Amino acid sequence: MPIYFYNPNVLLWLWLVPAAAGLFIYAAVKRKQAIRAFGAGALFISRKREAAGSCLAIALVVFALAQPAWNLQEQELQESGRDVVFLLDVSRSMLAEDMHPNRLENAKTAILDCVEGLSGDRVGLVLFAGSAEIRCPLTVDYDYFRMALRQASPNSVSAGGTMIGHAVERTLEKLLDPEKAGMQDLILITDGEDLVDGPDEVEAVKKLEEAGVRLIAIGIGDRSRGSRIALEDEESGTRSYMKHGKTEVWTKLHSETLRQMTAAVADGIYFDVANGPFDLARIYRQIMEHAQLSSTDSQVMERYEEQFHLFLGSAVIVLLASNRWRKKR
């Protein structure tokens, strides 16, 4: 039976199990040395069972948080609206901290809030930097979309840098449907830095207009002073700032690029958020007031049934049993 994890990154925390086991072993050795003269071997054996129970409980909790799922189910979902594709910049410049906690996390939160306000619209997610990756095809399965979005990071794409034009063209080619002209929106969220030679952005968005796709561009980042790009070492947890040679790299919003893109198409809309707060849900809701909707249809989705409660419940039982054993000792 295949097991699927909706939040697999949490499994990295399984290192806590051997770490806890090591601590228990170290404590047991020290305790045994201290009580050897008193012949308390039975006490030492009982602690081994408690340690095993604690380690097992930790493992079960980690598995529960990873949202394990099996038992494939078919679910009929209604779709009655538009196609909304979020094109999100995940280049390293989006790690700049001129927005809290940084540009990328701020954008992800705004997208999640926007999706909460949708009903029946299909949503898709494309991440880009020096290359573009489709992380969620058009779907009305919002849970799957949220899972894909939460995992978005600069490591989600294979190439660094930023190629906005290439990302737009790939989205149009691989994700958007030419038969739904006038009923599709592409929401681009970026700081506008285009650092890699690639397709011209303006020419790319003109293809969107030909396909009947509306472009909504959101520019984020400090437009004047800019900000350094914070980097964190995953192993040591130490922070540093990106450098080119010995000079720290500063990044700022390039709004002119985005203005040119939206001005090149009839339905292009640009919002200059800069480094202030923005409500993407409200912005899109206002745009949608006069939008064309597609006819009601349904889509059969296959989803694995979440089973996290089994692991969480088992962890509680193991801890209770371990506690009962300790009291009996």
Pair of tokens at residue 52: 């095993």
Whether residues 36 and 107 share a domain: the answer is: no
Domain membership of residue 64 as a residue range: 4-74+302-325
Pair of tokens at residue 185: 């929106």
Residues 191, 164: Cα–Cα separation, whole Å = 10
The predicted pLDDT at position 319 comes to 85
Sheet holding 297-306, edge to edge: 4-5, 68-79, 297-306
**Amino acid in the structure at residue 24:** F
Residues 111, 81: Cα–Cα separation, whole Å = 18
Whether residues 39 and 96 share a domain: the answer is: no
pTM above 0.75? Answer: no
* Model pLDDT for residues 170-220, shown as the tens digit of each residue: 999 999 987 888 889 999 999 998 766 667 899 999 999 999 999 999 999
Mean pLDDT for the stretch of residues 227-235: 83
- Which CATH number belongs to the domain containing residue 127 in this structure? 3.40.50.410
Contacts of 37 (CB under 8 A, 6+ apart): none
CB 293 within 8 A of CB 183: yes
The predicted pLDDT at position 62 comes to 92
pLDDT band at 296 (very low <50, low <70, confident <90, very high): very low
Pair of tokens at residue 21: 């086991």
* Helix (H) or strand (E) run with residue 110 in it: helix 103-116
Report in angstroms the alpha-carbon separations of 1 from 10, 71, 254, 303: 21, 8, 50, 14
Place of tokens 């540093």: 240
Whether residues 34 and 155 share a domain: the answer is: no
Whether residues 203 and 309 share a domain: the answer is: no
Whether residues 52 and 170 share a domain: the answer is: no
The predicted pLDDT at position 265 comes to 92
Mean pLDDT for the stretch of residues 112-121: 91
Q: How many CB atoms lie within 10 A of CB 328?
A: 7
Place of tokens 């190629």: 163
The predicted pLDDT at position 299 comes to 57
pLDDT band at 146 (very low <50, low <70, confident <90, very high): very high
For residue 294, the 8-state DSSP code is: P
Whether residues 275 and 260 share a domain: the answer is: yes
Query: How many domains does the chain divide into?
Result: 2
**Surface-to-core class of residue 114, CB atoms within 10 Å of its CB (0-12 exposed, 13-18 middle, 19+ buried):** buried
Whether residues 23 and 123 share a domain: the answer is: no
